[in-house]
Structure formats: structure tokens, C-alpha cells
Amino acid sequence: MMHKLILWDIDGTLLYSGGVAGEAMRAAMTRVYGRPSDNERRAYAGKTDQQIILETFPDRPAEELLGQLDVFTATYLAILNEWADVFRTRGRVLEGVVDVLQRLRAKGVVQSLLTGNLAPIARLKLDLMGLAKFFDFDSGAYGSDSPRRVDLPPIAASRAAQRYGRAFANADIVVIGDTPNDIACARAVGARAVAVATGPFGVEELRAHAPDAALPNLADTEAALAAILAE
């Protein structure tokens, strides 16, 4: 068994929701806060759901906005469940993802999540796309944990340490994502950063942020494993 904690981003890295998740989030914002976010996709990229709420309503106190986070989470989850069939139809798992997840599972690494998604939303998205079986959700960190994405890696490392009775630090931790924010997250804890250009940023844009590896996608399983495991 390899002593590694692999932390995956979800949107643009593992799957596309075909815009359904964004529509559900905007609908939930309208119900709970009175109006939706008008951010385009690139502005959402790499941010936590809490951060998106705070930036959408800069004129309102953070305590008031985040005081309604539980209601927002429940509303967003209910809408996404209602739209589950549309999500399955319009969404898709990205090329190569299943093969890479299967190979990593066979190596005995811990695979969890480091995502801006609220925890129940993360689980539902992966359930709907048939990917949930690959992840130990209790070792991850989510947009529910902090508005600041850079706060998330130490939370995930601490949860994994408690679950597995051993510390994960520095190169034991690998953060995989499709935005500069994912790279910054990895850097904040000395983790390995693997960038995948399957979201709104191209390979060269991601390389400018100096990840340990930058891939066009996960289609080449061997190249992806070499990048992730530094073999």
C-alpha cells in the first residue's frame, strides 16, 4: 500500500455537469438570498461555494450570508436531486478519469476530495456520475469547511491522519485540479500539485503557476499516474 493522500477537485477535473450544477446553484441563491450570481464559469472556477456567495452579495454582512448556509445547502441539494436526470443526461465523466481512479485504487492510496463544492453537493455529483465508490469522503475537505480554498488542504490532511492513524505531509499529499487555485492550495501545504487542462485554463496558463506536473487531460493513463505518483 502506498502512503499517499490523493485529493481530487471535482468540476472540470473529474466531471462536467453540463451547466446543470451552476443553474441549480443560481436557483438556490435566488430562493435563499433573493437573486442569483451573474458570474460566468471562469469566475466560479477554483472558488468555494461559500466564497461565491460572499462575492455575489458584497453589500451584505458575511455573518448574515453564512448564517443561512445550512438553508442554502439544503435548497441547493434539493434542486440538484430534482434535476438528477438532467444532470446525468447533460453531465459527463471526463476522459480517462475512471481508468486513473481504478489504477490508483489498486495501488492502495487514499483517494479523497479537495473541492469548493459543499460536502453533500460533492457527494451527490459523484453519485450521479457513478464515481462515488472510488472516494473516502471522510478524508476530504469541502467548500462547507471554509470560504477560503487555501484553508482546505490542512483540514483534509488532519481528517485523513485521524482516520488512518498516520500523518500525511508534503509530497505524501497530491492535489489534482484544473485551476490556478488548486495549484496554490497544494503549495500552501507543500503538497504535490498536478494541474489538468480540462477546465477553463489551458496547459500553458496552468504551467505559468508552476505545478509539479501539467497535463492536457487524463486520457493517457500511464502519463497521469506518473504525474500523480511522481514515479
Kindly report, residue by residue over 173-218, the tens digit of the pLDDT. Answer: 999 999 999 999 999 899 999 999 999 999 999 999 999 999 999 9
* Upper half-sphere CA count for residue 172 (Cβ side, 13 Å): 17
Check residue 146 and give its pLDDT.
Answer: 95
State whether 76 and 152 are in the same domain: no
State whether 68 and 127 are in the same domain: no
Domain that holds residue 58: 20-89
Check residue 43 and give its pLDDT.
Answer: 65
Of 44, 66, 89, at which residue does a domain stop? Answer: 89
Check residue 37 and give its pLDDT.
Answer: 60
Q: Kindly give, in sequence order, each residue whose CB lies less than 8 Å from that of residue 84, ignoring residues fewer than 6 positions away.
A: 128
| CATH number of residue 75's parent domain | 1.10.150
| CATH number of residue 148's parent domain | 3.40.50.1000
CA separation (Å) from 66 to 29, 35, 49, 101, 111? 12, 16, 11, 34, 29
Of 71, 89, 107, at which residue does a domain stop? Answer: 89
**Mean pLDDT, the chain cut into blocks of 10 residues (231 residues total):** 89 94 92 74 75 89 94 97 97 97 96 97 97 98 94 96 94 96 93 96 97 98 96 75
Q: What is the pTM of this model?
A: 0.94
Phi, psi torsion values for 15, nearest 5 degrees? -150, 165
State whether 61 and 103 are in the same domain: no
Check residue 59 and give its pLDDT.
Answer: 87
44 grid coordinates:
466560479
Residue pair 216/202 in contact (Cβ under 8 Å)? The answer is: no
State whether 64 and 129 are in the same domain: no
Query: Cell 465508490, residue?
Result: 133
State whether 56 and 126 are in the same domain: no
State whether 150 and 224 are in the same domain: yes
Check residue 35 and give its pLDDT.
Answer: 74
What is the tally of structural domains in the chain? 2
State whether 65 and 36 are in the same domain: yes
123 grid coordinates:
457527494
State whether 140 and 211 are in the same domain: yes
Q: Which of 10, 33, 54, 75 is CA-nearest to residue 146?
A: 54
Check residue 1 and give its pLDDT.
Answer: 53
Of 68, 89, 110, at which residue does a domain stop? Answer: 89
State whether 190 and 102 are in the same domain: yes
139 grid coordinates:
478524508
Rounded distance, CA 219 to CA 18, Å? 20
